[in-house]
Amino acid sequence: MGHDVEQVRARAIEWHVRLRDGEAGDWEEFSAWLAEDPRHGEAYDLVEAADLAIEPLLPHVVFREAANDDDIRRGGASARRRWVVGGSLLMASLAAVMILLPRFAADGYEVRTIAGQQRVVTLDAQTRVVLNGATTMRFDRNDPRFASLVEGEALFHVRHDEAHPFTLQVGGNRVQDVGTVFNVVKTRDGIRVAVSEGKVLYNPDAESVALGAGQALVDAAADSEVRVEPVPADAVGAWQQGRFVYTGQPLSQVAADLERSLGIRIAVDHAIAGRAVSGSIALDGDGREAMQIERLEHALDVAITAGTDGWIMKPAAGAQR
Amino acid sequence: MTDGGLYEAFLGMRPALHRYLQRRGARDDEAEDILQEVLLTLSSGKTGPVSEPGGYLYRMATNHFLIHRRGAVRRARREEDWVGAHTGDPPDLDEAPSAETSLIARQQLAILQSVIDRLPERTRTIFRRFRIEGETRPSIASDLEISISAVEKHLARAYEAITAVRLRLDEDKPLPRHLTIGKDGHGA
């Protein structure tokens, strides 16, 4: 029995070494080995935990080796990074909890994110929708070429099919793709559609406004006409990377974008709500509120106070105007 | 699209990754959550160029799985602390005071240092190159002019020593096999 345990542990160690730079085939074999016996997984957990536990200690360990070993300490820190490939990046999306509500009868379903979270919905192999925070969408199981944006923001990567165009319903409006990556926001103030690749038609059966890459359409609730304006194509959907690019949009829109991504309520003093913002804002994975506030105050030239119910943006102290 | 085939590779491998996560101890819905996080990361385009998508996706799924499990352990400990406070059982403190933590870290470092010091020199060099410098087995093997399996034997020896000592340190806190723990009472 004891012999058996030792053999399983030896195998677990072999796997751990092999998988460090293993290929898909190695992992599949490993997965099959785990399935053979629950003790295999237990043994592997222990080896893996031991290796993770020494991670913070390793930088302090002294490796006594012969002096003629020419490559001692070569490139230590950067290489070590590889071990946790993607680890810290992944933390950022970790908080994501989504709510999947089987709300309507047979075929429709609703997907909802809360502020600060994102979620991907896959409609087919080349069509996917990334929901930003505080967003509600509806889909149809029987029709993967249809989606409805009830509220919030989403980025669409759509496979173009002449015979079955992809149609997005936004309130009473329709956006139809002509092969494409586009971003749509719906708030109480109106609708914004921005195209990064390909082309879309806005309300193909009514005014039928064609938008190409690098163009955005604003359908403001307070305005009867839609407006088309230029937008940097690579800025479309940049929120997925925590990046926001503005070319003269009002501060109130900036606040709404940040609200969705940070998951914090942000109110804007009406004296500056209409102020035009140009430039780009990057949110990094650093969730510390004080740091975010400080960076945003600089970027937007405002004063931000954190209250119990969220943030308030006010004119910067000592502002000339 | 900018993900260099990773996204398509993911869709093809999804069932296999799901099975793998369950075999690692994830519940069905937990495996789904983990895959959703992988998908989200892929879709954000934050991944660099990848030479072998399959291995990369398995590693990514494993990282997410470990992050999940760490969260589950912490939650369970908090629950136990709460229960302990109300039943008189000694609480299992996760976060010790910092002085104590650094003392433990120093002790652990001393133990690890002695384990490394006791390894044969060649084993120590190979372990360092593999684990610290991140070199691959084939590159170490060709550089030292030995076979890959010889490199693997050295690494196995090093990990045997580290795992053995770790077992001793950790006897009082075994890792749970499943992500969700602490639901079936707190056995004395």
Kindly report the nearest CA distance between residue B161 and chain A, in angstroms.
Answer: 10
Q: What is the pLDDT of residue B47?
A: 63
Of B54, B85, B116, which marks where a domain is finished?
Answer: B85
**Residue B11, both tokens:** 């869709």
Nearest residue, CB atoms, B117 vs list A31, A64, A94 = A64
Total domains in the fold of chain B:
2
B80 and B20 housed in the same domain: yes
The reply to whether B151 falls in a domain is yes
B134–A contact, CB cutoff 8 A: yes
- Of A97 and A170, the one with more pLDDT: A170
Chain B (51-110) residues lying within 8 Å, Cβ to Cβ, of chain A: 52-60, 63-64, 66-67, 71, 105, 108-109
Q: pLDDT tens for residues B53-82?
A: 899 899 999 999 998 888 777 776 666 555
Which residues in chain A are contacts of B177 at CB distance < 8 A?
A: 38, 41-42, 45
Whole-number mean pLDDT of chain A?
78
B14 and B49 housed in the same domain: yes
Q: pLDDT tens for residues B77-123?
A: 666 555 544 444 443 444 445 666 677 777 888 888 899 999 999 99
DSSP string, B52-78: -HHHHHHHHHHHHHHHHHHHHHHHHHH
Domain range for residue B15? Answer: 6-85
Residue B94 region by backbone torsions, left for phi larger than 0, else alpha for psi between -120 and 50, else beta:
alpha
Q: Do the strands A266-268 and A310-315 form a parallel or antiparallel pair, or are they unpaired?
A: parallel
Nearest residue, CB atoms, A45 vs list B71, B160, B177 = B177
**Per-residue b/e over A47-71, b at no fewer than 16 CB within 10 Å?**
bbbbbeebeebbeebebeeeeeeee
Does position A321 have pLDDT exceeding 60, yes or no?
Answer: no
Q: Which amino acid is at B82?
A: W
Calculate ∠ Cα B114-B66-B51, nearest 5°.
Answer: 95
* Alpha carbon A39 to its chain's center: 37
- Of A236 and B139, the one with more pLDDT: B139
* Alpha carbon B170 to its chain's center: 15
**Residue A103, both tokens:** 């709300």
Smallest CA-to-CA distance from B156 within A1, A72, A7, A69 is with A7
The reply to whether B163 falls in a domain is yes
Nearest residue, CB atoms, A86 vs list B41, B52, B113 = B41
The reply to whether B183 falls in a domain is no
Of B85, B120, B149, which marks where a domain is finished?
Answer: B85
| Rounded distance between C-alpha atoms, residue A240 and residue A133, angstroms | 10
The average pLDDT across A83-94 equals 33
The reply to whether B1 falls in a domain is no
B50 and B106 housed in the same domain: no
**Spelled out in words, what is the top-level CATH class assigned to the domain A93-238?**
mainly beta
The ipTM is 0.79
Each domain of chain A, given as residue ranges in start order, spans 2-85, 93-238, 242-315
State whether B43 and A81 contact (CB < 8 Å).
no
Q: pLDDT tens for residues A294-310?
A: 778 887 888 888 877 78
Does position B36 have pLDDT exceeding 70, yes or no?
Answer: yes
Instruction: Tell me the pLDDT band of A85, cut-offs 50, 70 and 90.
Output: very low
Which residues in chain B are contacts of A38 at CB distance < 8 A?
A: 177
Q: What is the pLDDT of residue B184?
A: 42
B11 and B78 housed in the same domain: yes
Nearest residue, CB atoms, A54 vs list B25, B137, B162 = B162
CATH code of the domain covering residue B161: 1.10.10.10
Positive/negative CA dihedral, A8, A10, A14, A15: positive
CA dihedral B77→B83→B88→B90, nearest 10 degrees, is 0
CA distances from B176 to A13, A32, B166 (A): 19, 21, 16
Q: What is the pLDDT of residue A146?
A: 87
Does position A78 have pLDDT exceeding 60, yes or no?
Answer: no
Which CATH fold topology does A242-315 show? Phage tail protein beta-alpha-beta fold (3.55.50)
The reply to whether B180 falls in a domain is no
CA distances from B7 to A118, B11, B14, B29 (A): 17, 6, 10, 21
